[in-house]
Amino acid sequence: MTYLLIANFSLLLFYLLYILLLKGLTFFQWNRIYLLGTLFLSYMLPLLAYIDVDTQEDIYNTLPIVYTQTAGILVIEAGSSVFVDQVNWYWVIYGLGCLLSFLYLLLRIFNLRKLLKGQHPDAPKNYTLFHKVYVDLTASNAAVIHRHEQVHAQQGHSYDLFIVEILRIFNWFNPIIYRYYEALKFQHECIADQYASIDKVSYAQMLVAQAMDTRPSLMINTFSTKHQLKNRIIMLFKKETKKVHVLKYVLIM
């Protein structure tokens, strides 16, 4: 339990640094690397506290032996410790939470598969799932949308989200891991926007139009999501961050 507390506190610290220093930068690829890298560091660095490099020495304690005579029978009693198995309710609750989170993930995957395979009316029309790109060819800006989705596929953005989904199973109690998921998704969209937006004004108009008919889904990089739309447009027109701000990543490390 101590390990989990240290790891999740580390995650909180890294996320606060992201919000304060990095979120507003146009180094979208660097931010993606930062988010993934700090996820890894948060769960690996605390393990160092459990690695004992000291030489271990075996210590043998001689158990005291007591001789007693009862009714002509010699009884030999060895000193011993009584171990009472106690249920650690913290681990029981944690384990149940992990199990429920895993089952919920399976349910979402099943519903997603059913949604996409059945061509449900609520299914997103333009999205990327791992290395597969799906684009509505009847859309007026199909070529631009395809270019956007192709970036997601080429850079493997769905794999990033899948990693976070797995970590969420074991950290279901920490709201920061959910914020990490949203932050990573936002950086994915900004990266794709940067590559696909030749005419920024018309591209922003298309984002607004597409957002009216799109909903976010599990491990899917949709073309647009309503709750991120405003910030994506802001970042689209934001002046490129000066290179000197790369030092912020070095400073954090």
The contacts of residue 188 (CB under 8 Å, 6+ apart) are: 32, 152, 155, 157, 160, 161, 221
Question: For the whole model, what pTM was predicted?
Answer: 0.77
Q: Which residue has the tokens 């490129």?
A: 240
If you ran DSSP here, which 8-state letter would residue 134 be given? E
Residue 161 and residue 182: Cα distance in Å, rounded? 9
Could you give the 3-state DSSP secondary structure of residue 62? coil
pLDDT score, position 3: 80
If you ran DSSP here, which 8-state letter would residue 156 be given? T
pLDDT score, position 67: 53
Low-confidence stretches of the chain (pLDDT beneath 70): 50-87, 118-124, 211-227
pLDDT score, position 205: 82
pLDDT score, position 253: 81
Q: Which of 50, 161, 51, 38 shows the shortest CA–CA distance to 109?
A: 161
